[in-house]
Structure 1
Amino acid sequence: MLINLLVGIPVMVLCLVMQALFVAFSLKPYVRYARGGSVHLSAWRVTLLLSVVMLVMLLGNFVQMGVWGALFLMLGEFDSFATALYHSGVNFATLGYGDIVMTEQWRLLGPLEAANGILMFGVSTAAMTAAVSDVIKHQFELDRSR
């Protein structure tokens, strides 16, 4: 059990750092364009900006699934990256199909990845909610000042 924690926790920390970078990367252009002045943004531009935030956050989650999948492959749990990535995605999204299981030695990495995944999807949701809330607030302030 201790070896699972010693292997899994550094990967979780790496994923946390990566998620922070993806949040910063996705919100930086959003802040620059959406909050850049007293310009009323069209519905299409708002949709585009929010879509970029959403896609970058989703990409961040996919990259993290790939990191976990690579770890599973390095540990010799799977023969192909595709299978390791599939298993990682099931864990990360907390689906828990159980059609593919890891050996008893590394089985506790699954719940660690699931805890990591649910947290990262929560961060992604929070970033998207903050962006939507900010758009609504900014547009309301612009409409009110006119």
Structure 2
Amino acid sequence: MTGEDVIDEQVITATFNSQLAVGALMIGICVLLHGFGLFGLQRALFAETMKERIENLRPFSIRGAAATTLIVFALLFLHFVEIWLFAFLYDFLQALPNFQEALYFSTISFATIGYSDASIADEWRMVAALEGILGVILLGWSTAFFVRVLGKLEGGGSRSDA
């Protein structure tokens, strides 16, 4: 009996429809989380109390670089939360040997790197595929948000729509 055989005996089995349902639920949770996260970040950045500071911020100053760095960390934090949610799911379903493996697998799936050195139980492959699709969309959404914020910081965007 190999270690892989032991894992297969413990995996919570799923039909294709239940995989789609779990994947759709995770997509819904992550899209809402991401949307509210970006909305909150935008509100924090462009609130009336911050507006004057941001309007006077020079993008290539120390303060401008610090603001940009904080925005990057906030976006990364949002993605890390989403990745960890999938990792907790994989660990709960026992689709991977342990949480460390689940977190690694979730990270490479979300980022659509997809190394072949980690594989999920066959019963939950569709959820992993949906995580990859979601990752592409959410990373693109964050990129668009980041470009828009940088445009505002550089004075290139309309401040009335913030």
Uncovered stretches (5+) of structure 1, i.e. residues with no partner: 142-146
Shift of 1:109: 1.3
Partner of 2:123: 105
The residue that corresponds to 2:92 in the other structure is 74
C-alpha change, 1:38 and 1:128, in structure 2 (3 Å) is closer
Aligned partners of 1:4 and 1:108 also within 8 Å: yes
* Local SS of the residue matching 1:107: helix
CA gap 1:78/1:38 in 2 versus in 1, 3 angstroms: closer
8 Å contact from structure 1 (residues 34, 46) kept in 2: no
- Segments ≥4 residues shifted beyond 3 Å: none
| 1:60 CA drift (Å) | 0.4
Retained in 1: the 8 A contact 2:54–2:153?
no
Q: State the 1:79 CA deviation.
A: 3.0
1:77–1:102 CA contact under 8 A, matched in 2: yes
Q: Which residue of 2 is the match for residue 127 of structure 1?
A: 145
Number of residue pairs the alignment of both structures matches: 140
Q: Is the 8 A contact 2:86 2:106 kept in 1?
A: yes
What one-letter code is carried by the residue in structure 2 that aligns with 1:100?
Answer: A
Moved more, 89-98 or 44-53: 44-53
CA distance in structure 2 between the aligned counterparts of 1:100 and 1:38, rounded to whole angstroms: 44
Unmatched runs of 5 consecutive residues or more in structure 2: 1-15
Query: Does the CA contact (< 8 Å) of 1:30 and 1:53 recur in 2?
Result: no
Does the CA-based 8 Å contact 1:30-1:49 persist in structure 2? no
Give me the identity figure in percent: 22
8 Å CA contact 1:26–1:52 kept in 2: the answer is no
**Which AA in structure 2 matches 1:106?**
W
TM-score normalised to structure 1 length: 0.86
* CA RMSD across the alignment: 2.1
Q: 1:2 aligns with which of 5, 17, 30?
A: 17
Contact 1:65–1:89 (8 Å) recurs in 2 = yes
User: Of 91, 116, 135, which aligns to 2:134?
Assistant: 116
Deviation at 1:64, TM superposition (A): 0.4
* Alpha-carbon distance, 1:14 to partner: 0.4
Aligned partner letter, 2:33: M
Matches within 5 A, 1:1-146: 1-32=16-47, 35-36=51-52, 40-42=56-58, 43-137=61-155
- 39-48 or 58-67, which deviates more: 39-48
